[in-house]
Structure 1
């Protein structure tokens, strides 16, 4: 004789193991959302570079300028390359070659990330600043002249006084530098994450 409780009990289905659950949580996102998300940055960045004709201006500054403007441009481009290598270390070297994904949200608790993340921030800000200065101040002979014009421009609320005669303007320089970073970081974001890696706090 069966008890009512046992007779009404529903058959149980095999549940997923904890390993499968963890694997599903840590699995990389679908490629389509990634392409859409980072594709927008690539398109906007490329559009901004085209709008201000950034490649032509970069070439003109590097070939025609001399002195501190050219050095500032080279510093900005150099820091931009350093930024790219740091991102490659974070999204390519650690996940693919070392086989795990650090907990980036808790970077301050990581011996490695608490050095890399501030360094990455400084290279981005430094590169962006150097690019904006060199693009907007092209044509000025000395840094002192540029500083004095910047003070006058701020005092008169006139961005035109802050620009070099061969520069592309302060606003256009900001757009160009920002677009370059958007395009570059969008491309780096296209690097796929490995399918099965150990997620841990580094």
Structure 2
């Protein structure tokens, strides 16, 4: 994604009764405990385009080179064509389907600010109605799809398990690196009438 989030440099402790900060906890080095009604604010820090692109290219270039060198896509395509038998083809289509679900959900999360008109706070995704249901499904599709692809290549391709694991991991890195290059739409503040 084209932004990252970070906490603000100074933490402020608000006390509901006196409104002053707790000097005892600051002087002892301990983190202050927030009082009731305190909200923790996070600042959005936008990463420069060049820095973000270089980060993503660290995934794209090695992923593409390893995928090409091992012939991962060619071996997987042969499995989809039925060279390993009916079970191999079934597993290959299952891994492909989970890959499509993963990319679709990732794009949905990425484009959610544009679709809903609100910029979600990805750090507190458990509190968001939409993100709290999408992110677990996305995580599950990534893990199960990766495992199924590795198993399929390990059983029914000349790569075997070790090269299959490396090849699938490289292809996932390539895919997520390319998806990360998609610019995140920014939401403009709505003016209240």
Structure 2 Cα separation of the partners of residues 38 and 120 of structure 1: 20
Structure 2 Cα separation of the partners of residues 192 and 167 of structure 1: 38
Instruction: Report the CA distance between 1:27 and its aligned residue.
Output: 6.7
Whether the 8 Å contact between 1:28 and 1:195 is mirrored in structure 2 is no
Match of 1:59 in 2: 77
Structure with greater helix share of residues: 1
Structure 1 Cα separation of the partners of residues 165 and 188 of structure 2: 39
Structure 2 Cα separation of the partners of residues 103 and 111 of structure 1: 12
Match of 1:176 in 2: 167
Structure 1 Cα separation of the partners of residues 45 and 185 of structure 2: 9
Q: Is 2:106 the counterpart of 1:87? A: yes
Structure 1 Cα separation of the partners of residues 77 and 155 of structure 2: 15
Match of 2:26 in 1: none
Residue 76 of structure 1: SS of its match in structure 2?
helix
Match of 2:49 in 1: 31
Match of 2:179 in 1: 188
Residue 129 of structure 2: SS of its match in structure 1?
coil
Judged with a 3 Å threshold, the aligned counterparts in structure 2 of structure 1 residues 105 and 48 are, in CA distance, closer, same or farther, namely same
Structure 2 Cα separation of the partners of residues 45 and 100 of structure 1: 33
Structure 1 Cα separation of the partners of residues 76 and 162 of structure 2: 16
Structure 2 Cα separation of the partners of residues 95 and 172 of structure 1: 39
State how many pairs are aligned: 147
Structure 2 Cα separation of the partners of residues 80 and 73 of structure 1: 10
- Which structure has the greater CA radius of gyration? 1
The alignment's TM-score, normalised by the length of structure 1, stands at 0.68
Whether the 8 Å contact between 2:91 and 2:148 is mirrored in structure 1 is yes
Give the alignment partner of residue 111 of structure 1, picking from 129, 136, 139: 129
Q: Is 2:127 the counterpart of 1:99? A: no
Give the alignment partner of residue 69 of structure 1, picking from 81, 84, 88: 88
Match of 1:12 in 2: none
Give the alignment partner of residue 68 of structure 2, picking from 35, 44, 50: 50
Judged with a 3 Å threshold, the aligned counterparts in structure 2 of structure 1 residues 171 and 197 are, in CA distance, closer, same or farther, namely farther
The alignment's TM-score, normalised by the length of structure 2, stands at 0.70
Residue 72 of structure 1: SS of its match in structure 2?
helix
Two-structure CA RMSD over aligned residues (Å)? 1.9
Higher relative contact order (CA 8 A, sep 6+): 1
Unaligned runs of 5+ in 1: 1-24, 139-165
